[in-house]
Each structure stands twice: as structure tokens, then as C-alpha cells.
Amino acid sequence: SKFTHHGRSSPQVRSGTDTNDYYFPSCVSHVTLEASSVVLIAVIGDEDTCTGFLLGGIGELNKNRKPNFLVVEKDTSITEIEETFKSFLARSDIGIILINQFIAEMIRHAIDAHMQSIPAVLEIPSKEHPYDASKDSILRRAKGMFSAEDFR
């Protein structure tokens, strides 16, 4: 597999600075955390996927905050992908994480372990790997509820 873990970080991966301060995006005028909140969409994908979604206007990148996207290339390590995914989960300003399904397969254990409803994880196809509903974590969880006992 071309995505084997080499134990080193890729210089090609676009990631932000090391600050841990998270601020709400500038388009937010007010935030109520209990009933509703205004959040961003994050994306973990190959170059074309990230280019497309950034063209759509979801990207955020500035000196103060870490970016809300990760461009996964051939030499991106699985550790880096997993760390980025976990950092997106930990951020309170990310509501939806879009991830190519072939990348989701690499960190399937981390995605399956995520049981909260926010952020929502959406698996999307990539150019070389079409969407497979049988691999989708959400659908597997929904399908898994049907067991022989339930139909007694």
C-alpha cells in the first residue's frame, strides 16, 4: 500500500502552526453553545477533494488557528492523518468532518470509536476509490442493530 506508515511527518502536508488557541470563525456574530452553535466544516482528503471544497468556501487558514483541512498525499503518514482527525474531533468549532473513504479506511478504528453526534463524520468517494456503502461507519452501525434476536 502506498500509504504505509513511515514514522515521519510529511513536509508536503499543509498544516498550521502549533498554537492551541481556538477561536470561533469571524463570520460568527453570536454563539449559543447549549441550544445551537455555529461551526465549520473540516475536510481530510486528497488534493482534488480539498481543492474542490476550498473552492466551495469552507476553508479556514490563518496565523492564529490551525487549518480546518488536511491535504493527504502519497507520503502522508497514517499517524498524521489520525492526529489531525482527533484534533478536529477535539475542536468545538468543527461540526462536520468530510473524509475520503479510502483515508477513512486507514483510520477506521478512530472513526468507529467516535460515538458523539458532533462532529458528524461523512465519508465521501475519491477519484480512484468509489463510495462503498458497506464500508461506511454510520451505515454499518445502523445495519448492525439488526440481529436474529430482534425478530423473535
Partner 1 sequence: MGLDPVSVNLDQKLLEFMDQLELLEEKRQRLNSLIEEGWFNISKARYSMGNKQVSALQFASEIEPQICVHSSLSEKGNVEFKCERTEPKTEELEPSGTVENIGPKEGGLRRRTKIKQKETTVEETSKCEKESQDSIKSEKSPCQHQDPLKWFGILVPQNLKQAQAAFKEVITLSAEIATLQSAILATRMEMQTQMKEKHKIQSVLEG
Instruction: Give contact residues for partner 1 (rule: CB under 8 A).
Output: 14, 25-28, 35-41, 47-63, 67-68, 71, 95-96, 98, 117-118, 120, 122, 124-125, 127, 130-131, 133, 138, 141-142, 145, 150
CB of 72 to partner 1, least distance (A): 11
Give whichever of 7 and 11 is closer to partner 1, judged by the CB atom: 11
Give whichever of 7 and 150 is closer to partner 1, judged by the CB atom: 150
Assess contact for 45 and 99: CB atoms under 8 A.
yes
Give whichever of 8 and 127 is closer to partner 1, judged by the CB atom: 127
CB of 8 to partner 1, least distance (A): 20
Q: Which residues contact 100 (CB under 8 A, 6 or more apart)?
A: 44, 45, 46, 49, 72, 123, 124, 125, 126, 129
Buried b / exposed e along 62-75 (16+ C-beta atoms within 10 A): eeebbbbbbbbeeb
Q: Which residues contact 130 (CB under 8 A, 6 or more apart)?
A: none
CB of 23 to partner 1, least distance (A): 12
